[in-house]
A and B are shown apart, each in its own frame.
Chain A
């Protein structure tokens, strides 16, 4: 019969076959990973500007500005906007107004407003404030975990299990992050298998989506490919997202690589808000505007209006007294 997996893949809609005949998966898994060549038709953008972006800005942003930012983003077509973080204000003063922000925003139907909840305390505060989706934040690097959240990876997983269990009781979806997916500021190189292990754990615990973060932006299409190959063996592609930092200018080619491998969820921040805390003065998050420009140029739908995002970026940059990191926004404002 020749190469059955390839034959099956080319003749049939194998995704549907796998759903109905799960045992096909292991036959096709290897083939699918190596020969998958379909960019998604639709990409969901997860806007992290109000949380990940502002968290890494030096100036404390007034609550009303944060609320206005989120409200403006809500009108752009974005379907997920990470609103704030229920961490202790002692650690992250920028997010001290988390309750006021969650209560103050004008929620648009069909838009999700996930919030970070590092532990059960944060989760309970988030729910009390009205949050309907939460996020937990793991790391592929032991040292980063200890320095960032003061505990080992396995200890952090125990904390998340509590949160996820409580979330399940209330039918609140949980998103999982894996930081240092392509490199760690302390450990340097991170093995793809380390990333896969943490991603698998979070997925099995009940996270509906795992966002793989290149925390210090050192990744390249080479390391992105290797890491995703490993992770995709443990977590379905449809449950994966990429969170690329642009510190070394590699974010867009890394995102392109992920798309070519079938990933269809991309995290980004309006105006590229949020520098890199590990490389002072360098950029951090990739700009939503630049990501949208690339996706739309590739014929990929996002449901997001680029002009409205640029407008929102202008607003927050004015409020912060800083220049946008988005090249698209810069070019548009300066074009003859």
Chain B
């Protein structure tokens, strides 16, 4: 070994070491997302299916209650462990979710499956509980402007509202999931500082949310911005309590999810058939399709507990019902050989 090393020109070595050292220091553009391809990935990933809520909420056609219930039941049969069922917001704001109580009471809850519902405030929480909900979700933003335009208050004010919900949820022993939207970009503010995302995520986690879902609301993120954001957030919240909610508006969702997995994230939100367009770029896609996520995860040898065929059946059903083409590429690819 020593003899081998002596074969190498020591002067050259010094020069090269200097150059190597310099190149680490003075890289003109910071390359990100250069995580090892061979990085240990989680063995299991929990998929949080948001189609019935986030998906349908952003569809133009109002879906009949019966169809929503049927969709949720089919999704329950596909092996998904978490299915976001509906939203207890005022029907004045979100008419699609006006049948929230009927949906909650109408679905066949499968043992072992969670059916969280959105509750923007205490009133919504109380209505949700009364309707039989046993898990809720609250929705914060990393962008001030987005918070004001979306829920009519500042980020700090929204966190105060959530305190009320958290307190009531603790008393009722109901777990709460927290969302942070605009984590890598805002339709109004543009770039969002990773530190701001980390701050909001930390607040929600400290308040008692068991899991924080980081949402790329307008799908502008890339493996570059995802890495920077996750690096900041994982300093404040344990990675086991984090989830990613990637939109596919710019086709980056699966690449962003892969980066998140490489950084230790093991919970991924997605929507069957890629339901839910982008409200900020009309006609463009929104949620990433659960089928495409599951295809990638299974190809990586990661367990999800999901039966892809049954999932695709659920996707086909809802697309027929609302008369739209699936956004899932896996569902579209039918080999005719």
The total of chain B residues at the interface (CB under 8 A) is 63
- A260 touching B251 in the complex, CB below 8 Å, given contacts A246-B329, A281-B332: no
Q: Tell me the bound Cα distance from A80 to B239 in angstroms.
A: 42
Identify which of B4, B221, B251, B334 gathers the most chain A CB atoms within 10 Å of its CB. B251
How far is the CB of B260 from the nearest CB of chain A, in Å?
A: 11
**B-side contacts of A260, CB under 8 Å:** 33-37
> Quick one: which of B187, B254, B281, B336 contacts A250, CB cutoff 8 A?
B254
Q: Tell me the bound Cα distance from A324 to B283 in angstroms.
A: 13
Instruction: Tell me, yes or no, whether A222 is within 8 Å of chain B by CB.
Output: yes
- A16 touching B16 in the complex, CB below 8 Å, given contacts A276-B333, A287-B251, A298-B223: yes
Q: Tell me the bound Cα distance from A135 to B223 in angstroms.
A: 32
Instruction: Tell me, yes or no, whether A208 is within 8 Å of chain B by CB.
Output: no
Q: Tell me the bound Cα distance from A12 to B13 in angstroms.
A: 7
B287-337 interface (Cβ within 8 A of A):
289, 292, 295-296, 298-301, 328-330, 332-337
Q: Is the Cβ of A334 less than 8 Å from the Cβ of B2? A: no
Q: Is the Cβ of B36 less than 8 Å from the Cβ of A297? A: no
Q: Is the Cβ of A37 less than 8 Å from the Cβ of B35? A: yes
Instruction: Tell me, yes or no, whether B273 is within 8 Å of chain A by CB.
Output: no
Q: Which of A83-91, A153-161, A213-221 contacts B (4 or more CB under 8 A)?
A: A213-221
Q: Is the Cβ of A250 less than 8 Å from the Cβ of B299? A: yes
**B-side contacts of A223, CB under 8 Å:** 299
**A-side contacts of B299, CB under 8 Å:** 219-223, 250
**B-side contacts of A278, CB under 8 Å:** 335-337
- A301 touching B281 in the complex, CB below 8 Å, given contacts A1-B1, A21-B7, A217-B333: no
**A-side contacts of B171, CB under 8 Å:** none
Q: Is the Cβ of B281 less than 8 Å from the Cβ of A334? A: yes
Q: Is the Cβ of A297 less than 8 Å from the Cβ of B295? A: no
Q: Is the interface of B mostly helix, strand, loop or mixed?
A: loop
Identify which of A12, A326, A331 gathers the most chain B CB atoms within 10 Å of its CB. A331
> Quick one: which of A1, A220, A330 contacts B296, CB cutoff 8 A?
A220
Q: Tell me the bound Cα distance from A233 to B149 in angstroms.
A: 55
**B-side contacts of A334, CB under 8 Å:** 281-284
**B-side contacts of A328, CB under 8 Å:** 250-251
Q: Is the Cβ of A293 less than 8 Å from the Cβ of B222? A: yes
- A250 touching B16 in the complex, CB below 8 Å, given contacts A21-B8, A279-B333, A336-B281: no
Q: Is the Cβ of A185 less than 8 Å from the Cβ of B337? A: yes
Instruction: Tell me, yes or no, whether A327 is within 8 Å of chain B by CB.
Output: yes
- A283 touching B329 in the complex, CB below 8 Å, given contacts A16-B16, A252-B251: yes
Q: Is the Cβ of A282 less than 8 Å from the Cβ of B329? A: yes
How far is the CB of B44 from the nearest CB of chain A, in Å?
A: 15
**B-side contacts of A301, CB under 8 Å:** 29
How far is the CB of B293 from the nearest CB of chain A, in Å?
A: 9
Identify which of B27, B281, B292 gathers the most chain A CB atoms within 10 Å of its CB. B281
Identify which of B33, B37, B254 gathers the most chain A CB atoms within 10 Å of its CB. B37
**B-side contacts of A294, CB under 8 Å:** 222-223, 251-252, 255
**A-side contacts of B335, CB under 8 Å:** 185, 216, 278-279
How far is the CB of B8 from the nearest CB of chain A, in Å?
A: 7
Instruction: Tell me, yes or no, whether A225 is within 8 Å of chain B by CB.
Output: yes
The 8 A CB mask of A305-336 against B (1 = contact, 0 = none) is 00000000000000000000011101100111
**A-side contacts of B225, CB under 8 Å:** 297
Q: Tell me the bound Cα distance from A248 to B299 in angstroms.
A: 11
Instruction: Tell me, yes or no, whether B143 is within 8 Å of chain A by CB.
Output: no
How far is the CB of B21 from the nearest CB of chain A, in Å?
A: 10
The 8 A CB mask of B239-272 against A (1 = contact, 0 = none) is 0000000001111101101110000000000000
Q: Is the Cβ of A249 less than 8 Å from the Cβ of B328? A: yes
- A39 touching B300 in the complex, CB below 8 Å, given contacts A13-B16, A331-B278: no
Query: Which residue on chain A has the smallest CB distance to residue B9?
Result: A20
Binding site for A on B (CB under 8 A): 1-2, 4-5, 7-8, 13, 16-17, 19-20, 27, 29-38, 187, 219, 221-225, 248-252, 254-255, 257-259, 278, 280-285, 289, 292, 295-296, 298-301, 328-330, 332-337
5 contacts between A and B (CB under 8 A): A221-B296, A261-B37, A298-B222, A327-B284, A331-B284
